[in-house]
């Protein structure tokens, strides 16, 4: 059975600087995979290259289909949705408008949009009370909920998140990550990029460790503690 | 609650500035209607510019792109309607619609390659478009009559019904502007409008949600061209004469001013800007030879103290629902993590 997403020899550079050296990575159907790495390791570049937001070389396959040449907007239609670093919300728009933009691919299918609203509000009840509020005026935690909620409105098959816990209080970050865990248990494939997140490791089945644009290690999440050098870095 | 208290509460919901502004505009129109004369012409032109700016707002306001060349489509509208009416005896309304169709086709042909450019490059390309159109209207004398311009363009009308009275013309233009604003408002809050505004905030972010950015930019460009063409045609029918100067660089400068003074990206801003920027020269005329300085000074003060445009004042004095429980400090920090629409300085 082909992987949900498979990356083969994906590389990207900014000018002469190679931010991502040929990287191989895969996420199986319904799998939770975490990519760890320090600042400047190439984690964001990896997600941006996979989403075709930057030019890259190499192959990306989605359920066995080569999607390397597809434009970004096509990927969203396939169900590959990314929550960007810094949330990427439309600050001047309301919560409702942001969520509706998430459901953009549904066209005018009102019933399906309503169903997804109900799903998102079920996961993040705070958003229900703030539908008319402008996104920029919300707290950081609420914004992250909205970012994930907007991604869910698109009905993703693979959800890619770039450091969703960044800048959040530990309790709020844990709440967001636990919700991701719940979504994964319901069958959603998740590729999570984090700098240092013990909870993300608890949720993940497999972990890739990225450094200087290359994959340094690929291992089951529960084994990371047995690698003393990695454990020291990511658990302390 | 008494009736009076209920009315006050309702008005406060709109905001005192909004209510005051609406009363002021109503009084202004009443004054212009009663007084007549030159002010009627000024207001007629303000309505025409308003139509132009409402269209430009689709491309520059909602979508966040820069265009210095929309005057080209106003020229197509103006010359199209003039030639069709004078040379071929078209009905004015039919000529207006035919010119809009022509401008729409031209905007697709021009926009498709041009809109691959971004930022300053797009601004320069559209600027060139405006200059080329101006040169064509001057040089292609067999079609445009060059500097002599086109005279004898019939007033707006359908069949035997023509709008010749100056007050009736103003009413007619007001109705057209209101229809234009209504369409703009409806589209802004639609799926289409949300996509445009998403593009304005971040093209990549919009694309990541499945929005075909290039297609939407082209659609906004075409809509702006249709409005511009309609404005050009209306000018021709209301004034009865057009020449290359009407659609020259001055038009670009004036409409940019209107857009920013009124509030770019808002629904009512372009119309408010058109009225204010049209009336301002009349108001500062009393300063005699300093009128240009006074005009520039007022514009500068407006841009400094009301940078989001006059329509942004509408929220002042509005009764707000109780503040939410989350901390204000947290919000000010979190605002930095959202995509705000790009600064809409020229070429941005």
- Confidence at A229, pLDDT banded by 50, 70, 90: low
Instruction: Check pLDDT > 80 for residue B205.
Output: yes
pLDDT of residue A194: 85
User: Which one of B337, B340, B341 would you mutate to disrupt binding with A, by most A Cβ within 10 Å of its Cβ?
Assistant: B337
Find the residue in B nearest to A133 (Cα): B324
Q: Classify residue A98: in a domain, yes or no.
A: yes
Domain co-membership, A114 together with A208: no
Tell me the mean pLDDT in the region A157-186: 90
What's residue B316's pLDDT? 65
Check whether B325 has a pLDDT greater than 60: no
Q: Residue B63 above 90 pLDDT?
A: yes
Are residues A73 and A135 located together in one domain of the fold?
no
pLDDT the model gives residue B334: 47
**pLDDT value of position B322:** 42
pLDDT on residue B229: 97
Distances, alpha carbon B18 to alpha carbons A68, B24, B278, in Å: 52, 10, 20
pLDDT digits (tens, 9 = 90+) for B215-238: 999 999 999 999 999 999 999 999
Give the pairing type, strands A158-162 and A189-194.
parallel
Predicted local distance difference test score (pLDDT) of residue B178: 96
Are A111 and A214 found together in one domain? no
Nearest CB to B327 within list A51, A88, A139:
A139
In terms of domains, do A7 and A35 share one? yes
Please indicate, yes or no, whether residues A170 and A70 belong to a single structural domain of this protein: yes
Local confidence band at B317 (pLDDT 50, 70, 90 cut-offs): low
Give pLDDT, residue B78: 96
CA distance B243 to chain A (A): 42
Q: Between 1.10.3470, 2.40.128, 2.60.290, 3.30.1180, what CATH number should domain B16-311 receive?
A: 1.10.3470
**pLDDT tens per residue across span A33-61:** 999 988 888 999 999 999 999 999 999 99
Q: Note the pLDDT tens digit of each residue in B64-92.
A: 998 899 999 999 999 999 999 999 999 99
pLDDT over threshold 80, residue B115? yes
A&B contacts, CB < 8 Å = 108
Give the per-residue pLDDT at A221: 82
Given A97, A120, A155, which residue is the final one in a domain?
A: A155
Determine the pLDDT at residue A197.
Answer: 67
Share of chain A above pLDDT 90, in %: 58
Mean pLDDT of B289-318: 85
Q: Minimal Cα–Cα distance from B260 to chain A, Å?
A: 18
Question: What pLDDT was estimated at residue B29?
Answer: 85
A231 occurs within a structural domain: yes
CA distance B238 to chain A (A): 39
Q: What is the pLDDT of residue B331?
A: 43
Contact state of B209 with A108 under an 8 Å Cβ cutoff = no
Considering only the beta carbons, identify the residue of B206, B208, B339 that sits closest to A91. B339
Of residues A60 and B17, more confidence is placed in: A60
Q: Is the pLDDT of residue B34 over 70?
A: yes
Q: Is residue A48 part of a domain?
A: yes
Tell whether A84 is covered by a domain. no
Is residue A87 helix, strand or coil?
coil
CA A88/CA A96 separation, integer angstroms: 15
Give the strand order in the sheet containing A206-211.
A80-83, A158-162, A189-194, A32-36, A206-211, A214-220
Complex ipTM, two decimals?
Answer: 0.87
pLDDT mean across residues, chain A: 89
- CA gap B223, B181 in Å, rounded: 13
Q: Which range of residues forms the domain containing residue A231? A: 1-79+158-236
Q: Which residues of B touch A (CB under 8 A)?
A: 191, 194-195, 197-198, 201-202, 204-213, 324, 326-327, 330-331, 333-335, 337-341
pLDDT of B320 strictly over 60: no
- The model's confidence at residue B333, banded by pLDDT at 50, 70 and 90, is very low
Cβ contact, residue pair A84, B195, below 8 Å: no
The confidence score (pLDDT) of residue B339 equals 64
DSSP string, A201-223: HHH-SEEEEEETTEEEEEEEGGG
Q: What's the token pair of residue B37?
A: 């004369």
- Is residue A130 one of the residues assigned to a domain? yes
Per-residue pLDDT tens digits for B247-269: 988 899 999 999 999 999 999 99
- Strand bridging mode A57-62 / A5-14: antiparallel
Mean pLDDT across chain B, nearest whole number?
86
According to DSSP, residue A86 is labeled: T
Q: Which of A92, A101, A142 lies nearest to residue B340, judging by beta carbons?
A: A92
Q: Per-residue pLDDT tens for B149-160?
A: 899 999 998 888
Q: Are A195 and A37 in contact (CB under 8 A)?
A: yes
Q: What is the 3-state secondary structure (H, E, C) of chain B?
A: CCHHHHHHHHHHHHCHHHHHHHHHHHHHHHHHHHHCCHHHHHHHHHHHHHHHHHHHHHHHHHCCCCCCCCHHHHHHHHHHHHHHHHCCCCCHHHHHHHHHHHHHHHHHHHHHHHCCCCHHHHHHHHHHHHHHHHHHHHHCHHHHCHHHCEECCCCCEECCEECCCHHHHHHHHHHHHHHHHHHHHHHHCCHHHHHHHHHHHCHHHHHHCCCCHHHHHHHHHHHHHHHHHHHHHHHHHHHCEECHHHHCHHHHHHHHHHHHHHCCCCCCHHHHHHHHHHHHHHHHHHHHHHHHHHHHHHHHHHHHHCCCCHHHHHHCCCCCCCCCCCCHHHHHHHHHHEECCCCCCCCC
Task: Tell me A37's DSSP state.
Answer: -
- Which pLDDT score is estimated for B1? 58
- Beta strands A89-90; B338-339: pairing state: parallel
User: Distance from B216 to chain A by nearest Cα, in Å?
Assistant: 12
Q: Are residues A68 and A166 in the same domain?
A: yes
Q: What residue spans define the domains of chain B?
A: 16-311
Q: Mark whether A71 and A141 lie in a shared domain.
A: no
Q: Give residue A109's Cα distance to chain centre.
A: 26
Residue of chain A with shortest Cα separation from B265: A92
Mind listing the pLDDT tens digit for each residue in A72-82? 999 999 999 99
What is the least distance, in Å, from the CA of A223 to any CA of chain B? 34
Does any domain span residue A111?
yes
Q: φ and ψ at B156, to 5 degrees? A: -60, 150
- pLDDT tens figures, A94-150: 999 999 999 998 887 788 899 999 999 999 998 999 999 999 999 888 999 999 999
**B347 pLDDT exceeds 60?**
no
pLDDT value for B14: 63
**Long-range CB contacts (within 8 A, 24+) of B107-112:** B107/B73, B107/B221, B107/B222, B107/B224, B107/B225, B107/B226, B108/B218, B108/B222, B110/B72, B111/B217, B111/B218, B111/B221, B111/B222, B111/B225, B112/B218
Q: How would you class B343 by CB atoms within 10 Å of its CB: exposed for 0-12, middle for 13-18, buried for 19 or more?
A: exposed
CA distances, B125 to each of A61, A78, B66, B175, B251 (Å): 38, 35, 10, 34, 17
Q: Is the pLDDT of residue B30 over 80?
A: yes
pLDDT band at B132 (very low <50, low <70, confident <90, very high): very high
Does residue A45 fall inside a structural domain? yes
Same domain flag for A8 and A43: yes
Give how many domains chain A has, as a whole number: 2
Mean pLDDT confidence for A209-223 = 87
Q: Is residue A144 part of a domain?
A: yes
Contact call for B326 and A138, based on CB within 8 A: yes
What is the biggest distance separating any 2 CA atoms in chain A, rounded to whole angstroms? 53
Q: B122 exposed, middle or buried (CB, 10 Å; 0-12, 13-18, 19+)?
A: buried
Model pLDDT, residue A233? 62
Contact B338 A167 (CB under 8 A): no
Which CATH number do you get for residue A167? 3.40.50.300
Q: Which of A120, A155, A190 is the last residue of a domain?
A: A155
Residue among B201, B206, B208 with most chain A CBs within 10 A, to mutate: B208
pLDDT digits (tens, 9 = 90+) for A86-107: 778 898 899 999 999 999 988 8
End-of-domain residue from the set A155, A177, A192: A155
Nearest to A142 among B202, B326, B340 (CB): B326
């Amino acid at each position: 059975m082909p992987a949900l997403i498979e990356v083969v020899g994906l590389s990207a550079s900014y000018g002469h600087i190679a931010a991502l050296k040929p990287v191989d990575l895969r996420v199986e159907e319904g799998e939770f995979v975490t990519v760890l790495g320090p600042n400047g390791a190439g984690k964001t570049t990896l997600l941006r290259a996979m989403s075709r937001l930057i030019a890259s070389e190499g192959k990306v396959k989605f359920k066995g289909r080569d999607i390397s040449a597809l434009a970004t907007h096509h990927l969203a239609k396939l169900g590959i949705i990314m929550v960007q670093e810094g949330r990427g919300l439309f600050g001047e728009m309301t919560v409702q408008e942001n969520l509706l933009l998430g459901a953009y691919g549904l066209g005018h299918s009102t019933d399906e949009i309503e169903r997804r609203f109900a799903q998102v509000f079920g996961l993040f009840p705070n958003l229900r009370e703030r539908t008319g509020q402008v996104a920029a005026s919300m707290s950081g935690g609420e914004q992250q909920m909205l970012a994930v909620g907007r991604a869910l409105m698109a009905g993703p098959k693979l959800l890619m998140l770039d450091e969703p816990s960044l800048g959040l209080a530990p309790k709020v970050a844990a709440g967001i990550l636990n919700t991701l865990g719940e979504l994964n248990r319901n069958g959603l494939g998740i590729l999570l990029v984090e700098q240092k997140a013990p909870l993300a490791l608890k949720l993940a089945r497999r972990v890739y460790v990225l450094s200087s644009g290359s994959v340094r290690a690929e291992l089951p999440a529960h084994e990371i503690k047995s690698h003393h050098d990695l454990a020291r870095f990511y658990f302390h | 609650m008494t009736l009076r208290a209920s009315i006050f509460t309702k008005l406060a919901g709109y905001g005192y500035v909004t209510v005051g502004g609406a009363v002021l505009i109503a009084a202004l129109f009443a004054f212009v209607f009663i007084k007549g004369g030159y002010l009627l012409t000024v207001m007629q032109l303000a309505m025409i510019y308003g139509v132009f700016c409402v269209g430009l707002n689709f491309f520059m306001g909602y979508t966040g792109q820069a265009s210095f060349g929309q005057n080209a489509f106003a020229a197509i509208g103006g010359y199209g309607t003039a030639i069709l009416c004078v040379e071929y005896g078209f009905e004015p309304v039919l000529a207006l619609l035919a010119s809009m169709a022509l401008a729409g086709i031209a905007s697709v042909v021009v926009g498709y390659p041009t809109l691959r450019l971004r930022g300053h490059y797009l601004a320069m390309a559209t600027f060139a478009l405006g200059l080329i159109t101006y040169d064509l209207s001057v040089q292609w004398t067999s079609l445009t009559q060059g500097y002599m311009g086109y005279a004898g363009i019939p007033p707006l009308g359908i069949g035997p019904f023509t709008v010749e009275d100056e007050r009736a013309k103003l009413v007619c233009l007001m109705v057209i502007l209101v229809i234009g604003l209504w369409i703009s408002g409806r589209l802004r809050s639609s799926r289409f409008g949300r996509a445009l505004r998403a593009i304005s905030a971040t093209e990549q972010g919009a694309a990541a949600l499945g929005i075909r950015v290039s297609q939407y930019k082209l659609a906004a460009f075409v809509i702006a061209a249709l409005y511009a063409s309609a404005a050009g045609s209306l000018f021709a029918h209301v004034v009865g004469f057009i020449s290359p100067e009407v659609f020259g660089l001055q038009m670009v400068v004036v409409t940019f001013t209107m857009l920013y003074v009124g509030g770019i990206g808002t629904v009512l801003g372009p119309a408010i800007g058109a009225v204010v920027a049209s009336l301002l020269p009349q108001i500062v005329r009393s300063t005699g030879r300093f009128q240009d300085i006074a005009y520039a000074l007022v514009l500068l003060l407006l841009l400094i103290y009301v940078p989001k445009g006059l329509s942004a004042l509408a929220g002042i004095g509005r009764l707000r629902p109780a503040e939410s429980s989350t901390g204000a400090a947290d919000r000010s920090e979190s605002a930095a993590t959202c995509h705000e629409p790009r600064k809409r300085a020229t070429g941005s």
